[in-house]
Chain A
Amino acid sequence: MTTDNNKPTPPDSAGIINDVTSSDYKWGFTTDIATDIIPVGLNEEVVRTISRLKGEPEWLLQFRLDAFKRWEKMTMPRWAHLEIPPIDFQAISYYAAPRQRKAPGSLDDIDPEMKRTFDRLGIPLEEQKALSGMAVDAVMDSVSVRTTYREKLAELGIIFCSISEAVKEYPDLVQRYLGKVVSSRDNFFAALNSAVFSDGSFVYIPKGVRCPMELSTYFRINASGTGQFERTLIVADDDSYVSYLEGCTAPMRDENQLHAAIVEIIAETRAEVKYSTVQNWYPGDKEGRGGVYNFVTKRGLCRGDHSKISWTQVETGSAITWKYPGCVLAGDGSIGEFYSVAVTNNHQQADTGTKMIHLGNNTRSTIVSKGISAGRSQNSYRGQVHVAAKARGCRNYTQCDSLLLGDSCGAHTFPYIDVHNDTAVVEHEATTSKINEDQIFYCNQRGIPTEDAIGLIVNGYAKEVMQKLPMEFAVEAQKLLQITLEGSIG
């Protein structure tokens, strides 16, 4: 089903809904910091260089080289409802590291300028200043800057560190799980990431442990002319629980920056992982110049029986978003969830959704997707529900809503439902609506100005998803929704 709204605004209804005006991106500053960047271009030597710079073992170099060879034979996927300008993969630098005197073991080793950057982003690197109950891995460009609360978590046997450190300190764990959920064969961007990934977070929750604080990674692109290719791996062993948050921002630049990440999650028997994202990469200016191209592969494997993986995402940034966080429900009785709010304004394009692959018996999945389009943006939901022939008693419920602000944006829905077992129950509901002038005027008449009215209406529309976010995040995300849409209606 596709709902298109491309016709120009007729002059008589120009009333409230206006052309897009300013929408300030508040995280667009750059940090003046010495950075080591390798020359642009991608070839086998570059892959070897990255591996060497990171001091990696032979198996990981081989992993990268295999991926690179695959990538060379692949072409960029073109099936999404996106207009992707040509990307010159040879014009990007694949490794940028803020220069540090030595390994950032202690806080004192971190460049004060970098500390200030994360402070400005509201991510203090000092534990005493941090949000209570949240441990943070701060990643700038290609490397992890600091991970807070590591020692405290280690007392419970929880491993939370950058993936580079994990490769050195827990090579067996990393080797056992890396690439097992998202193989480098999976797609073009997964192959690219597997070849050149720089850093990211690694989480291991041991059997029976409930992680007492939210774990969080904050990604920041700073250097210009680079791509960011981080990789996150989360393993939740039997009967464990963890809630993980991801946030990201980038400076405002006229060029487009490439971000191609992979997130892999493995949930063993009765384990539960809750993964929340607030994606706020630079979306480009109101004419559509600049902005991050966000091509992300996120997938969770519910390997154990009765395990559960839940994705919650609030997507407000990026010029182009291409991501489908999915769940492979292999264990019997396992549960996959996907809750998404995707907002596009100005010239942003988003093609996002999920994949729920039911392989085990009595597996259940829930999909709630709320798309909000404003300006001249295009917002698509693309979701796959697959029930395998041997999977009995599976259930899926999908609810997919689109909200349009104005007459120049588009909302599209592409559901793929593929059921091979007749005991399955699969439901799909979809709605498309518009914020109308009557709703705004009703708020105005009660004394609520238009900008606040839109914030109220949009947050009401997205409430079902926002409620799934951890408390600390929900307030920020609510504000972000409003800021993203500022100026979309005049």
Chain B
Amino acid sequence: MLQINNLHASIEGKEILRGIDLTVNAGEVHAIMGPNGSGKSTLSAVLTGNPQYTVTEGTVSFGGKDLLAMPPEQRAHEGLFLSFQYPVEIPGVSMTNFMRAALNEKRKYHGQEPVSATEFLRLMREKRAVVELDNRLASRSVNEGFSGGEKKRNEIFQMAMLEPRLSILDETDSGLDIDALRIVAAGVNQLKTADNATIVITHYQRLLDYIRPDFVHVLYKGRIVRTGGPELALELEEKGYDWIKEELDDR
């Protein structure tokens, strides 16, 4: 589904990603871990086409298409979704209007008619239940006045609405209390199918107790330096990142 080859990217002339190779297949959950500043969030930003970053080398293919050649909205239409670490507030724009615009843009791209009002409202009801958001959601402005936990649940709600093929959860666990974490993780698990895939970016192992990864990758200084199963996350939890740093920096 996703194939990243030798991806290099920089921001303001400073290279952050220095040759990432990663393959994600349908049905898989990948965790990307690593110390602060290792390039985890940069990877999600580059994949989704954030214009602040420049790709300097490498290729990314998504569903057989050249992902890097597409503008950000087209990547979304092709089924790439990012749950933001810091969801943005858009005052005065109701979640209803925002989601309808998003959904209809996607449908337009795939040659479908705009969603009917009744069908849309039914979808909103069904999908907000996934993350236990109440019916006030529809009329609230996008993320405005949402608590930290509500913002993250709102991200997963949008993911449920848009039914992406590949979701990237960028530090979705940061700032969440244990109850919110459980709700968010349950939502993500509920949305998992054999046809979609998830990349979980996290600093801590805690989230991986709830969302079980098939693969764990350690990102350090812009490269994937270790890949393993869930046991790698446990090892990191126990020993921290220092042993990896030492091992690599010695070389």
A422: CB under 8 A from chain B? no
CB of A452 within 8 A of CB of B105, answer: yes
Of the listed residues B71, B87, B88, B94, the one surrounded by the most CB atoms of chain A closer than 10 A to its CB is B88
Complex CA distance for A459 and B92, rounded to whole angstroms? 8
- Given the complex of chains A and B, what is the CA–CA distance between A449 and B162 in angstroms? 16
Which partner residue on chain A sits nearest B104 by CB separation?
A: A447
Stretch of A57-65, A314-322, A386-394, A437-445 with 4 or more beta carbons under 8 angstroms from chain B: A437-445
- Shortest Cβ distance from A227 into chain B, in angstroms? 38
A154 at the interface (CB under 8 A from B): no
Could you list some 16 contacts between A and B, CB below 8 A?
Answer: A15-B51, A439-B88, A442-B84, A443-B101, A444-B49, A445-B72, A445-B73, A446-B98, A446-B102, A447-B73, A447-B77, A447-B102, A448-B73, A448-B105, A456-B101, A457-B90
Q: Does A12 contact B (CB under 8 A)?
A: yes
Given contacts A439-B88, A448-B102, 8 further A-B contacts (CB under 8 A): A441-B50, A443-B101, A446-B101, A446-B102, A447-B103, A450-B73, A452-B105, A464-B92
Which residues of chain A are within 8 angstroms of B109 by Cβ–Cβ distance?
447
With A459-B92, A463-B92 as contacts: A441 and B72 at CB distance below 8 Å: yes
In the complex formed, the residue of B with least CB distance to A449 is B73
Rounded to whole angstroms, the CA-CA distance of A448 and B103 in the bound complex is 9
User: With contacts A447-B77, A456-B98 known, is A461 near B91, CB below 8 A?
Assistant: yes
Q: A12 near B12 (CB under 8 angstroms)? A: yes
Contact with A along B1-37 (1 / 0, CB 8 A): 0000000000010000000000000000000000000
* Contact A460/B90 with A445-B82, A447-B162, A452-B101 known, Cβ cut-off 8 Å: yes
Alpha-carbon separation in the docked complex, A456 to B91 (Å): 10
Residues from chain B with a CB closer than 8 A to the CB of A449 are 71, 73, 105
Interface string of B78-95 (1 = CB under 8 A from A): 000110100110111110
Once A447-B162, A449-B105 are accepted as A-B contacts, the answer to whether A456 and B93 lie under 8 Å apart by CB is: yes
Is B196 part of the contact surface with A, judged by Cβ < 8 Å? no
What mask results when residues 1 to 32 of chain A are scored 1 for a CB within 8 Å of chain B, else 0?
A: 00000000000100110000000000000000
CB-defined contacts of A438 to chain B, threshold 8 Å:
88
Which has the most chain A C-beta neighbours within 10 Å: B75, B84, B93?
B93
Residues of B within 8 A of A456 (CB): 90, 93, 97-98, 101
**Residue B76 at the A interface, CB < 8 A?**
yes
Binding site for B on A (CB under 8 A): 12, 15-16, 437-439, 441-450, 452, 456-457, 459-464
Contact residues of B between 46 and 81, Cβ < 8 Å to A: 48-52, 71-73, 75-77, 81
B51 touches A442 (CB 8 A): no
Contact status A16-B162, CB under 8 Å? no
Which B residue sits closest to A458, measured CB to CB? B92
The residues of B with any CB-CB pair to A shorter than 8 Å are 12, 48-52, 71-73, 75-77, 81-82, 84, 87-88, 90-94, 97-98, 101-103, 105-106, 109, 141, 158, 162
The CA-CA distance from A464 to B92 in the complex, in Å, is 8
Partner of B105, one of A441, A447, A460, A463: A447
Roughly how many angstroms separate A442 CA and B90 CA in the complex, as a whole number? Answer: 9
Instruction: Give chain B nearest CB distance to A314 CB in angstroms.
Output: 15
Complex A-B, nearest 8 residue pairs according to Cβ-Cβ distance, in ascending order: A460-B92, A460-B93, A444-B72, A447-B76, A446-B102, A463-B92, A442-B88, A447-B105
Chain B residues with CB under 8 A of A442: 84, 87-88, 90
Which residues in B have their C-beta under 8 angstroms from that of A448?
A: 73, 101-102, 105
Complex Cα distance, B207 from A231, in Å, reads 68
Find B92's partner among A12, A15, A452, A462 (CB 8 Å cutoff). A462
In the bound complex, residues from chain A placing their C-beta under 8 Å from that of B88 are: 438-439, 442
| C-alpha gap A456/B99 in the complex (Å) | 11
User: Contacting A15 at CB < 8 Å: which of B52, B75, B90?
Assistant: B52
- Give chain A's interface secondary structure class: helix
Give Cα A81 to B78, complex, Å. 48
- Which B residue's beta carbon lies closest to that of A12? B12
Q: How far is the CA of A101 from the CA of B46 in the complex (A)?
A: 68
- Bound-state CA distance A173–B136 (Å) is 52
Of the candidates B52, B76, B101, the one whose C-beta lies within 8 Å of that of A445 is B76
Task: Please determine whether A437 and B52 come into contact, CB atoms closer than 8 angstroms.
Answer: yes
Least CB distance from A104 to B in Å reads 43
CA distance A392 to B162 in the complex (A): 57
Q: Which residue of B lies closest to A433 (CB)?
A: B91
* Chain A residues within 8 Å of B71, by CB: 444, 449
Most-contacted residue by chain B among A441, A443, A446 (CB, 10 A): A446
* CB pair A439 B90 closer than 8 Å: yes
CB distance from A14 to the nearest CB of B (A): 10
In the complex, chain A residues whose CB is within 8 Å of the CB of B77: 447
- In the bound complex, how far is the Cα of B101 from the Cα of A459, in angstroms? 13
Q: Tell me the smallest distance from the CB of A460 to a CB of chain B, in Å.
A: 3
- In the complex, how many angstroms separate the beta carbon of A176 from the nearest chain B beta carbon? 44
For the complex, give the distance between the alpha carbons of A15 and B11 in Å: 11
Nearest A residue (CB) for B102? A446
List the A side residues contacting B73 at CB < 8 Å.
444-445, 447-450
Q: How far is the CB of A187 from chain B (nearest CB, A)?
A: 35
Q: Among A441, A459, A461, point to the contact of B51 (Cβ < 8 A).
A: A441
> What's the nearest-Cβ distance from chain A to residue B90, in Å?
6
Please report the C-alpha to C-alpha distance between residue A45 and residue B162 in the assembled complex, in whole angstroms: 71
Report the Cα distance A442→B101, complex, angstroms: 13
C-alpha gap A129/B246 in the complex (Å): 80
Q: Which of B52, B76, B91 contacts A444 (CB 8 A)?
A: B76
Residue of A nearest to B53 (CB): A15
CA distance A449 to B75 in the complex (A): 11
Least CB distance, A451 to chain B, in whole angstroms = 11
Residues in A with CB closer than 8 Å to B49 are: 444-445
Question: Which residues of the other chain, A, contact B98 by a CB distance below 8 angstroms?
Answer: 443, 446, 456
